[in-house]
Chains A and B, each alone.
Chain A
Amino acid sequence: MSGEPKQAPAEADASDAAATGPTEVETGADAVVRALENAGVEHLFGVQGGAIMPVYDALYSSEMTHVTMAHEQGAAHAADAYGIVSGDPGVCMATSGPGATNLVTGLADSNMDSDPVVALTGQVPTDFVGSDAFQETDTVGVTGPITKANFFSDDPESVGTDVGTAFALAKRGRQGPTLVDLPKDVTKGAASEDPGEPRTPSTYSPPETAAPEAVSEATDVLAAADRPVILAGGGVIKAEACEELREFAVEHEIPVVTTMPAIGTFPEDHELSLEMAGMHGTGYANMAITMTDCMLAVGTRFDDRLTGGVETFAPDAEIIHVDIDAAEISKNVEADYPLLGDAKAVLEQLATAMPRSPEADEWREQCREWKQEYPMDYAAPEDDPVKPQYVVEAFDSATADDTIVTTGVGQHQMWACQYWTYTEPRTWVSSHGLGAMGYGVPSAIGAKLAADDDQEVVCFDGDGSFLMTCQGLSVAVREELDITIVVLNNAAIGMVRQWQDAFFGQRHMASEYPWVPDFDTLAEAFGARGFRIESYDEVESVVAEALEYDGPSVVDAHIDPGENVYPMVPSGGDNGLFALAEDQL
């Protein structure tokens, strides 16, 4: 991987030579760039355009690397993935109007998943605001409901501080996307101050530790439980609390279930791991969260894809809910023991306060039995079209443990959850709460740029999802990113087809593609390497070659178009009654 363009234009050398230190602040745009530098930003993802041009101009001599994306949606998704993998806010940039509205899907995704992202949008000059000027959109209005905070900057002297505040807010407390709207006259206007380090406003004070009495009550209940379970949510990763969670679970031998964003918090090959619960979670995870009498839930918002119908969610359980956001406590599921605070700090408190391990040997044995009873075993007859699960497993076997997986949205995403064994946090990158098709290719780009140099990135995509953002291949080729995109090609928007089979009398309305491009050929046209899998014999060699290729490659894997995702809890259903096959739905 290299941040340099393939054919560096002559000017690039000049700008590199000029980039010797932090940006001198002479304009609002300089202050914006300086604020990003002060925040330690290394990569930016964006697309140029009229209203944001002053900011780009100020970037010209900065040492930060800007990755020009093919579409602003891709910029937002790349920034989101960058934030997930690095833990620091990913930054995306777009011009006013269509540039800003193209970011919307990505910001909504980051907001749902509490991913740290900062978006910078150009805006028409302040005198024109409200006049329906060319490329004017009320960006702050449009993105208000889908950002943690957003700002309209109206002063060149404070615009840098606004950007710093946005950065600090994206990262602190419950993480999320923030946006600063930058009118062109403000970024062009004279400024002199270095905006300094990013800081959150004085009014913003997320809780740190939980009330000690509450912690000791909660640990008493947990220690006395017969059927305890830990439900790890994405907040555990956000709070860098995986170590604490692992130690607590292992020390007290409490089985661990994760939500989808929390994949990687707890090693899936550990005997206490029951893996992911919810709509397409494992049978054993869903049995455990249904039968538990005490659930320690950390950093989760009890999304409906996890809970199914709340009436039947962990109905016997006293719930201990650790969260940094008070509004998540008892929002969807009532918390008997709310512990408001940072997951890492509260897990440390719990570890200290825990009087003893629960005497729950029978339950531990039960969980082990469920793992035997509901194996994730799929049928893969030799003569059939290749099973998608087999392709996922083949890539998993051929790659190192720290390999990062990103996905589109659909069946392929679920197989990537289910059949890859995750052992490390920040190696699973997906669009969870929003379920945004098109997340795959740009997220692979963002993940690769945030990854360690020797860390591999594999993206599992669906043919439908891939077609939404495959223009990002041009970026991956230009930036020489070594990523492997595996299109689990069923010539259908399979997840929709699966629902039609189950709930709409097999009426395949608008879910089958009578024709899909040859994705391997398409990849070659972009300058990437293309591979194809059509039978089992080809799997091993293609996997090896695609991973071996040093640059972006696309594997067009023609999979069994009839394959569906199981287990499945229908939307609003009872987790304990998960279906193992269609006739159980």
Chain B
Amino acid sequence: MSRNQNVRRDGLEGPEPEERKRPVGRRNSQGIRVDPEVEVEHEPRRTIISAYVADEPGVLARVSGLFHRRQFNIESLTVGPTQNEGYSRITMVIEEPDPGIEQAKKQLNKLLPVVHVRELDEKPVARELVILKVDGDEPDKVQAITEMYGGETLDAGPRTITVQITGDESKIDDALDAYEQFGIREIARTGQAALARGEAETARVDETHT
């Protein structure tokens, strides 16, 4: 117990900040030790994360809630059943610097219904689908473009034509540009669905989850 009369009235004693020893190092805003002389920032990159999840009510809300609350930059999210009843696959495209991608995977892993999470490597097999409705004034030209992109006409009427294109993201972007001239009325586009290429596993699924 101290009732020292001589210490300063409104604070504590000790060497002032400018009199103290100082460290030489520095970290960046991600808490990574860096050379004080050079500025390193991790650039965001786009990647696909695949999660194999128990198909419980609310699992999609949990996953999207997690991404929202942790401010992960998510570009698309698709979900659908797998070959195993009771389990779904969620495929997410995110754009984050490496530490953010790591965090996203780890945080996903913590959700109870999430069985396995994997980031797909450089060249996964990935596809998305778009359905678009254009003005039907030039049916032949529309047909030509649809053929060029390997698409399919789903509905053709006097006023509108609705087509479907599947492919990787850039192909769909290109196709959309090409249809622009006809006047696009509406678009419905899915996110990416993806699997790892070749023998590589997209998600490790053990017997208890098949």
Given contacts A376-B12, A580-B12, contact A333 B31 (CB under 8 A): yes
Which residue on chain A has the smallest CB distance to residue B58? A140
C-alpha gap A336/B66 in the complex (Å): 27
> Nearest Cβ distance between residue B177 and chain A, in whole angstroms?
40
Per-position contact with A for B1-20: 1 when CB-CB < 8 Å, else 0? Answer: 11111111111111111001
C-alpha gap A201/B54 in the complex (Å): 12
Q: Is the CB of A327 within 8 A of B62?
A: no
Q: Is the CB of A564 within 8 A of B13?
A: no
C-alpha gap A397/B1 in the complex (Å): 9
A128 at the interface (CB under 8 A from B): no
Per-position contact with B for A393-426: 1 when CB-CB < 8 Å, else 0? Answer: 1100100000000000000000000000000000
Chain B residues with CB below 8 A from A145, complex form: 65-66, 69
Partner of A378 from the list B2, B27, B99 (CB cut-off 8 Å) is B2
In the complex, the 5 A-B pairs of residues with the closest C-beta atoms, listed nearest first: A581-B11, A315-B25, A333-B31, A327-B106, A374-B14
28 contacts across the A-B interface (CB closer than 8 A): A144-B58, A169-B112, A203-B112, A203-B115, A203-B208, A291-B21, A302-B31, A307-B31, A310-B29, A312-B27, A315-B23, A316-B23, A316-B24, A327-B110, A332-B31, A373-B14, A374-B12, A376-B12, A377-B4, A379-B7, A393-B1, A394-B1, A562-B10, A564-B11, A579-B11, A580-B16, A581-B8, A584-B11
Taking CB atoms and an 8 Å cut-off, the chain A residues in 153-177 that contact chain B are 169
Q: Is the CB of A312 within 8 A of B26?
A: yes
A149 at the interface (CB under 8 A from B): yes
Q: Is the CB of A576 within 8 A of B28?
A: no
With A140-B58, A380-B4 given, name 6 new contacts (CB 8 A): A144-B62, A310-B27, A310-B30, A327-B103, A327-B106, A566-B11
Chain A residues with CB below 8 A from B146, complex form: none
Given contacts A331-B103, A390-B1, contact A564 B23 (CB under 8 A): no
B145 at the interface (CB under 8 A from A): no
Which residue on chain A has the smallest CB distance to residue B2? A377
Which residue on chain B has the smallest CB distance to residue A380? B3
C-alpha gap A283/B6 in the complex (Å): 19
A325 at the interface (CB under 8 A from B): yes
Q: Is the CB of B110 within 8 A of A311?
A: no
Q: Is the CB of B20 within 8 A of A313?
A: no
Chain A residues with CB below 8 A from B110, complex form: 325, 327
Counting chain B CB atoms within 10 Å of each CB, which of A169, A203, A393 scores highest?
A: A203
Q: Residues of B at under 8 Å CB distance from A?
A: 1-17, 20-33, 54, 57-58, 61-62, 65-66, 69, 99, 102-103, 106-107, 109-110, 112, 115, 208-209
Q: Is the CB of B14 within 8 A of A379?
A: no
C-alpha gap A141/B31 in the complex (Å): 32
Chain B residues with CB below 8 A from A201, complex form: 112
C-alpha gap A145/B63 in the complex (Å): 11
> Nearest Cβ distance between residue B84 and chain A, in whole angstroms?
14
Chain B residues with CB below 8 A from A203, complex form: 54, 112, 115, 208-209
A522 at the interface (CB under 8 A from B): no
Chain A residues with CB below 8 A from B103, complex form: 327, 331
A61 at the interface (CB under 8 A from B): no
Chain A residues with CB below 8 A from B21, complex form: 287, 291, 576
> Nearest Cβ distance between residue B71 and chain A, in whole angstroms?
13
C-alpha gap A405/B38 in the complex (Å): 47
Chain A residues with CB below 8 A from B115, complex form: 203
Which residue on chain B has the smallest CB distance to residue A310? B31
Q: Is the CB of B109 within 8 A of A327?
A: yes
> Nearest Cβ distance between residue B49 and chain A, in whole angstroms?
14
> Nearest Cβ distance between residue B172 and chain A, in whole angstroms?
33
Q: Is the CB of A330 within 8 A of B8?
A: no
Chain B residues with CB below 8 A from A287, complex form: 20-21
Chain A residues with CB below 8 A from B22, complex form: 576
Per-position contact with B for A214-230: 1 when CB-CB < 8 Å, else 0? Answer: 00000000000000000
Chain A residues with CB below 8 A from B54, complex form: 203
C-alpha gap A228/B25 in the complex (Å): 16
Chain B residues with CB below 8 A from A140, complex form: 58
Which residue on chain A has the smallest CB distance to residue B28? A311
Given contacts A141-B61, A203-B115, A316-B24, contact A581 B1 (CB under 8 A): no
C-alpha gap A302/B30 in the complex (Å): 12
Chain A residues with CB below 8 A from B6, complex form: 379
Counting chain A CB atoms within 10 Å of each CB, which of B1, B9, B54, B107 scores highest?
A: B1
Taking CB atoms and an 8 Å cut-off, the chain A residues in 255-291 that contact chain B are 283, 287, 290-291
Chain B residues with CB below 8 A from A330, complex form: 31, 99, 102
Taking CB atoms and an 8 Å cut-off, the chain A residues in 329-382 that contact chain B are 329-334, 336, 373-382
Q: Is the CB of A327 within 8 A of B1?
A: no
Chain A residues with CB below 8 A from B99, complex form: 330, 334
Q: Is the CB of B16 within 8 A of A584?
A: yes
A326 at the interface (CB under 8 A from B): yes
Chain B residues with CB below 8 A from A310, complex form: 27, 29-31
Taking CB atoms and an 8 Å cut-off, the chain A residues in 537-571 that contact chain B are 562, 564, 566-567
Q: Is the CB of A381 within 8 A of B23?
A: no
A526 at the interface (CB under 8 A from B): no
Partner of A582 from the list B10, B17, B25, B102 (CB cut-off 8 Å) is B10
Given contacts A201-B112, A397-B1, contact A311 B13 (CB under 8 A): no
Q: Is the CB of A379 within 8 A of B15?
A: no
Chain B residues with CB below 8 A from A248, complex form: none
C-alpha gap A287/B69 in the complex (Å): 34
Chain B residues with CB below 8 A from A582, complex form: 10-11
A578 at the interface (CB under 8 A from B): yes
Given contacts A326-B106, A381-B5, contact A567 B12 (CB under 8 A): yes
Q: Is the CB of B57 within 8 A of A152?
A: yes
Partner of B23 from the list A290, A307, A327, A377 (CB cut-off 8 Å) is A290
C-alpha gap A316/B36 in the complex (Å): 11
Given contacts A144-B65, A334-B27, contact A315 B33 (CB under 8 A): yes
A7 at the interface (CB under 8 A from B): no
Chain A residues with CB below 8 A from B15, complex form: 373-374
C-alpha gap A514/B210 in the complex (Å): 66
C-alpha gap A156/B115 in the complex (Å): 26
C-alpha gap A438/B154 in the complex (Å): 62
Q: Is the CB of A379 within 8 A of B9?
A: yes
A131 at the interface (CB under 8 A from B): no
> Nearest Cβ distance between residue A260 and chain B, in whole angstroms?
19
A577 at the interface (CB under 8 A from B): yes
Chain B residues with CB below 8 A from A327, complex form: 103, 106-107, 109-110
Partner of B27 from the list A169, A333, A380, A393 (CB cut-off 8 Å) is A333
A202 at the interface (CB under 8 A from B): yes
Q: Is the CB of A375 within 8 A of B112?
A: no
> Nearest Cβ distance between residue B208 and chain A, in whole angstroms?
6
C-alpha gap A83/B53 in the complex (Å): 31
C-alpha gap A140/B56 in the complex (Å): 13
Chain A residues with CB below 8 A from B9, complex form: 379
Q: Is the CB of A380 within 8 A of B2?
A: yes
Chain B residues with CB below 8 A from A394, complex form: 1
